[in-house]
Amino acid sequence: MPDDHKLRLGDAVEIDGETWVWEGVRRGTEAKLRRDGSSDDWLVLSVPELLAHAGTARRDTDLPLRPSQGDWPSDVLDMEKHLLEAFRGTPMDVTATKPRVAYDPATTRQEERIASKTAEIAGTSLGRSRRTLYNLWNAYQAHGTAGIDARMHRKGKKRLAIAKADPRLVAVIDRALDDRKDMPTSTRRHCALLVRRTLSQMYPGDAICEIKDGTLQGYINERDAGRYSFAKATTRRTAANSPEREFFSGNASRLGAVCEIDSTKLDVQVWDDKGNVFRPTATVLFDVASRVPLAWAIHADAPNGFDHALLLARAIVGRRAIPGSAAAVLSGSATLPVELMKRVNPYLDDDSLAVPWIFPHAITIDGGADYRSATFEAACRAFGMTLVLAPPNAPTVKPHVERNFGTTSTNFATWLAGATGNSVANRGKRDVPTLTLDSVRLAFETWITTVYLNTQHGGLRSPLFPGREWTPNQMYAALFEVGPGVQLPFRAEDFFALLPTKPRVISNEGIAFQNRTYDSPLLADLRGRSMTGTGSPGSRSARKVDISYDPYNLNAVWVHHPETKDWIECWDTALDDRSAWMAAEAAVKLVERFGAADGGETPKTAEFLDSVERRARSDKRARATHLRDQRGPARAGDTVEGSAESTPIKLREWAAPVDVDDIDWNSSAYDIVTIKDIRS
């Protein structure tokens, strides 16, 4: 360590704005100091307190104590051996028992050893002058091997070039780069020209306007770091949304304390019930503490506040994981505390245990009209939930659900037929959709319960075990047992209270609703019944019963029995577990083979009309012949009135035809058949 970095007796130390001189040490642990300029004013401090005021020994922080990669370079290690032999006589050969004769400190002087070493390494890659060897030795004494490496391999120091620039120039560059956030991407040359033009307008004749092109371009590149002013416009806008403050994780340690909800377009094309192609919208309610999706929905159209209220009902009702989807095969997990969950929530059944049940206490939403609707807000208020509104253009306030959409795209949508890719650049030349909306919903439910909830999540780490990643089911099981308090469970009635209703007649065939038929054995006493208070007894309006339905899950509808007050679940009669796959396969092949918009082959109306006209002419001739035969054959010598020998007609006479009004259309000379237009 160099002597100028050491604290010696007699050195002055500044304490609380006063200068004190270190005079001695008492008892080996206390430092005795005298006020500078005084002979009888003394101060006794402990050595740690003295070091706190005076500072410890310092070293050059630019020189690393160890190499950044691997070991020191071989030439540095060789030079270290040469220096030790020249200045201390240490043999270069580790097996040698004594120094060489030319480098023995007992028989040679240091100048002689330096001269010998200079002559020995001359002409090699390590050849150095006498002065350089002394400088290398001083660096080695101060910083060790790192000092030799710094001398032999000088590296440029990292610095901010713009730190020496005029503050006015920096302000103009920053303003020009900030203005490009919402502009289309252009070149750096265009930005430099705008900066020069602004400088000439603001500071005409100033030396700042004469900055060199290379220097100005370097300043622009340095200030552009992290702004992406000349990269993709989408990347630039996303980076601009990043808050200008220290980031925080926003993690929660209690289930349901912090939840996030958002919607996005799935990266997959599907068919609707008419065979049209579209991209569905997925909405997910996400718990931050466990990374468990509380509820989800896949919509054909853009969701509204009422749809989110139904999503909220799915999250808080423990009747099933997804009410009305008993046909879905939900995979349970051995990790979840099943018995404890059943004791806490008696309404959980086997399907519910496939998805952890969490009550959302606070939900973070964005500024979308569907989330700020009065319907969704009233539903949250009814169940005692707090809505947290994120600032405009601030997706970082709810980053967990935003990142979950990326996981859904890469780990779920990629495996589906009809996947489109997450951007136009990743989209294929042809997108062939082969799944229906119901199939995608079923696949999404299965993926969440079987894959996602059992996959290690990078955001689920414990501070005590930062190297271990946990699955959402594991984190839920741990937090469920230590969480403060248990939320009271909700029943099926809470879910049905938010469902829309439609009046329908319960006939012997069941309930006809949206081109489907629903039925249940429990509807026997309601078939054809007339309800009082709804109109004249026996009328159609009196026989209608309000049914509750989920607009985005039409597998089943529910009927509230007017007498027993029980909810009757009625399933689509076309759903058959044994033949469901055959019906789905046939529906897919119909659209694949015959298309979505084409109704089939073009009706051959013209051919049909031609056939009718030909048959009509033939029937007319046959009828005329039959009438002539009924009059009987003419007797010989009788003259038929109006008959005459046929004479050829001269073609010239047709050049000036008679007036149409003078034609007797009832005459047998005009055999005309009129066919009416037949429309298909």
- Token pair, residue 157, equals 């120091």
- pTM score above 0.85: no
CA-wise closest residue to 572 among 512, 507, 522, 518:
518
Which whole number is the average pLDDT over 180-192? 90
Q: Whole domain around residue 364: which residue ranges?
A: 259-492
The three-state secondary structure class of 24 is strand
475 contacts 468 by C-beta, under 8 angstroms: no
462 contacts 470 by C-beta, under 8 angstroms: yes
Instruction: Tell whether 648 is covered by a domain.
Output: no
pLDDT > 70 in the chain, percent: 74
The three-state secondary structure class of 164 is helix
Quickly count: other Cβ atoms within 10 Å of residue 610's Cβ: 12
9 and 110 both lie in a single domain: no
Which whole number is the average pLDDT over 579-589? 58
CATH number at residue 326: 3.30.420.10
pLDDT band for position 30 (50/70/90)? confident
CA-wise closest residue to 140 among 91, 94, 84, 90:
84
Rounding to the nearest 10 degrees, give the CA dihedral for residues 635, 638, 643, 644: 110
Q: Which residues contact 559 (CB under 8 A, 6 or more apart)?
A: 506, 511, 520, 523, 526, 545, 547, 548, 567, 568, 570
Quickly count: other Cβ atoms within 10 Å of residue 35's Cβ: 15
Residue 653, pLDDT > 70, answer no
Question: Which stretch of 53-62, 415-424, 528-537 has the lowest confidence by average pLDDT?
Answer: 53-62
30 contacts 15 by C-beta, under 8 angstroms: no
pLDDT band for position 82 (50/70/90)? very high
483 and 505 both lie in a single domain: no
Instruction: Tell whether 233 is covered by a domain.
Output: yes
The predicted pLDDT at position 675 comes to: 45
Instruction: Tell whether 621 is covered by a domain.
Output: no
194 contacts 230 by C-beta, under 8 angstroms: no
Distance, in Å, from the CA atom of 242 to the CA atom of 240, rounded to the nearest integer, reads: 5
Distance, in Å, from the CA atom of 549 to the CA atom of 557, rounded to the nearest integer, reads: 5
Instruction: Tell whether 472 is covered by a domain.
Output: yes
Say if strands 457-461 and 277-278 run parallel, antiparallel, or are unpaired: unpaired
Tokens 């969950």 — which residue?
341
- Token pair, residue 255, equals 């289930």
CA-wise closest residue to 523 among 506, 538, 537:
506
Quickly count: other Cβ atoms within 10 Å of residue 285's Cβ: 23
Among 594, 611, 643, the domain-final residue is 594
Question: Which stretch of 279-293, 404-418, 538-552 has the lowest confidence by average pLDDT?
Answer: 538-552
Instruction: Tell whether 625 is covered by a domain.
Output: no
The predicted pLDDT at position 177 comes to: 92
pLDDT in tens, 3-22: 555 677 777 888 877 888 88
CA-wise closest residue to 301 among 328, 263, 260:
263
Residue 77, pLDDT > 80, answer yes
486 and 503 both lie in a single domain: no
Q: Which residues contact 126 (CB under 8 A, 6 or more apart)?
A: 75, 78, 79, 82
Residue 515, pLDDT > 50, answer yes
597 contacts 583 by C-beta, under 8 angstroms: no
pLDDT band for position 447 (50/70/90)? confident
Among 240, 272, 300, the domain-final residue is 240
Distance, in Å, from the CA atom of 203 to the CA atom of 223, rounded to the nearest integer, reads: 21
What number of helices (H) and strands (E) belong to the chain? 18, 19
297 contacts 278 by C-beta, under 8 angstroms: no
pLDDT in tens, 209-253: 999 999 999 899 888 888 899 998 888 888 887 777 766 666 777
pLDDT in tens, 488-497: 556 667 677 7
pLDDT band for position 378 (50/70/90)? confident
Which whole number is the average pLDDT over 156-160? 69
The predicted pLDDT at position 455 comes to: 85
CA-wise closest residue to 323 among 572, 569, 578, 512:
569
The three-state secondary structure class of 45 is strand
Question: Which stretch of 39-43, 98-102, 185-189, 579-583 has the lowest confidence by average pLDDT?
Answer: 579-583
The dihedral through the CA atoms of 343, 347, 353, 356 has a sign that is negative
Instruction: Tell whether 609 is covered by a domain.
Output: no
- Token pair, residue 114, equals 């330096």
pLDDT band for position 260 (50/70/90)? very high
136 and 177 both lie in a single domain: no
CA-wise closest residue to 628 among 675, 671, 673:
671
On the CB side of 165, CA atoms within 13 Å amount to: 25
- Token pair, residue 306, equals 């009422």
* 236: amino acid identity, one letter: R
Among 554, 573, 594, the domain-final residue is 594
Instruction: Tell whether 254 is covered by a domain.
Output: no
Residue 579, pLDDT > 60, answer no
144 contacts 79 by C-beta, under 8 angstroms: no
Distance, in Å, from the CA atom of 228 to the CA atom of 351, rounded to the nearest integer, reads: 48
The predicted pLDDT at position 350 comes to: 56
pLDDT in tens, 110-132: 999 999 999 999 989 999 999 99
Tokens 């705008």 — which residue?
194
336 and 403 both lie in a single domain: yes
Long-range contacts of 581-586 (CB under 8 A, 24+ apart): 584/436, 584/439
Buried b (16+ CB within 10 A) or exposed e, 155-177: eeeeeeebeebbeebeebbeebb
218 and 303 both lie in a single domain: no
Sheet harboring 259-265: ordered strands across?
A: 293-299, 281-287, 259-265, 362-365, 386-389
152 contacts 79 by C-beta, under 8 angstroms: yes
Q: Which helix (H) or strand (E) holds 502?
A: strand 501-507
The predicted pLDDT at position 24 comes to: 81
CA-wise closest residue to 491 among 361, 370, 357:
357
67 contacts 152 by C-beta, under 8 angstroms: no
Our measurement of the distance from residue 68's CA atom to the centroid of its chain's CA atoms, rounded to an integer in Å, reads 37
pLDDT band for position 322 (50/70/90)? very low
Residue 355, pLDDT > 60, answer yes
Give the DSSP letter of residue 375. H
478 and 588 both lie in a single domain: no
Which whole number is the average pLDDT over 658-675? 57
Quickly count: other Cβ atoms within 10 Å of residue 213's Cβ: 10
Considering the chain, what is the average pLDDT of its residues?
Answer: 78
348 and 464 both lie in a single domain: yes
Domain count within the chain: 5
CA-wise closest residue to 11 among 28, 2, 3, 23:
23
Residue 517, pLDDT > 80, answer yes
pLDDT in tens, 597-619: 455 555 666 777 777 677 677 77
Tokens 């989209």 — which residue?
427
Instruction: Tell whether 331 is covered by a domain.
Output: yes
85 and 125 both lie in a single domain: yes
488 and 503 both lie in a single domain: no
pLDDT band for position 263 (50/70/90)? very high
417 contacts 432 by C-beta, under 8 angstroms: yes
The predicted pLDDT at position 595 comes to: 58
194 contacts 234 by C-beta, under 8 angstroms: no
Distance, in Å, from the CA atom of 569 to the CA atom of 560, rounded to the nearest integer, reads: 9
The predicted pLDDT at position 143 comes to: 80
Distance, in Å, from the CA atom of 427 to the CA atom of 334, rounded to the nearest integer, reads: 39
pLDDT band for position 645 (50/70/90)? low
The predicted pLDDT at position 195 comes to: 93
Distance, in Å, from the CA atom of 159 to the CA atom of 170, rounded to the nearest integer, reads: 16
Give the DSSP letter of residue 317. B
509 and 542 both lie in a single domain: yes
230 and 307 both lie in a single domain: no
- Token pair, residue 536, equals 């004249």
The predicted pLDDT at position 484 comes to: 54
pLDDT in tens, 163-172: 788 889 999 9
